[in-house]
Amino acid sequence: MSEHALIEYKQVNGVAVLTLNRPEKRNAMSDDMRAELVARLLSVRQDKTIRALVITGSGKGFCAGGDIAGMKARMEADPATVGFNGWERQQGVHYAAGLLLNLPIPTIAAVNGSAAGLGADLALSCDFVIAAKPASFSWAYIARGLIPDGGGMYLLPRRVGLPRAKALIFSGRKVDSEEALNIGIADQLCEADDLLQQAVNLTDEMSKGSRTAIALTKSIINHSYEMSDSQVFAEGSKAQGICYTSSEHRASVQAFLARSNEGAA
Shared-domain flag, residues 223 and 185: no
Report if residue 28 sits inside a domain.
yes
My answer on whether 175 and 239 are in the same domain is no
- Are 230 and 186 part of one and the same domain? no
User: Can you give the pLDDT at residue 71?
Assistant: 64
Q: What is the pLDDT of residue 78?
A: 78
Same-domain check for residues 202 and 215: no
As a whole number of angstroms, the distance between CA 50 and CA 208 comes to: 12
Q: Is the pLDDT of residue 73 over 70?
A: no
Residue 2 lies in a domain: no
Whether residues 217 and 168 fall in one domain: no
**167 and 180 inside one domain:** yes
10 Å Cβ neighbour count for 117? 27
Give the model's pLDDT for residue 83. Answer: 84
Same domain as 255, residue 124: no
Quick one: 192 and 222 in the same domain? no
pLDDT tens for each residue of 150-208: 999 999 999 999 999 999 999 999 999 999 999 999 999 999 999 999 999 999 999 99
Domain end, chosen from 169, 190, 206, is at 206
pLDDT over 50 (residue 1): no
Question: 171 and 243 in one domain?
Answer: no
Pairing of strands 175-176, 114-116: unpaired
Tell me: the pLDDT tens digits for 25-42?
999 999 999 999 999 999
Containing structural domain, residue 260: 211-264
Q: Are residues 191 and 239 in the same domain?
A: no
Of 164, 183, 206, which residue constitutes the final position of a domain? 206
67: nearest Cα among 114, 117, 112:
117
Query: Do 235 and 187 belong together in one domain?
Result: no
Q: How many domains does the chain have?
A: 2
CA distance 25 to 28: 6
Start-to-end CA distance of the chain, whole Å, equals: 67
pTM of the model: 0.91
Question: Is the confidence at residue 60, as pLDDT, over 50?
Answer: yes
* Listed residue (121, 118, 116) closest to 174, CA to CA: 116
Give the whole-angstrom CA distance, residue 204 versus residue 97.
24
- Same domain for 121 and 135, yes or no, is yes
User: Domain for residue 199, yes or no?
Assistant: yes
Domain edge (last residue) among 206, 225, 241: 206
Looking at the chain, how many residues does it have? 265
| Predicted local distance difference test score (pLDDT) of residue 125 | 97
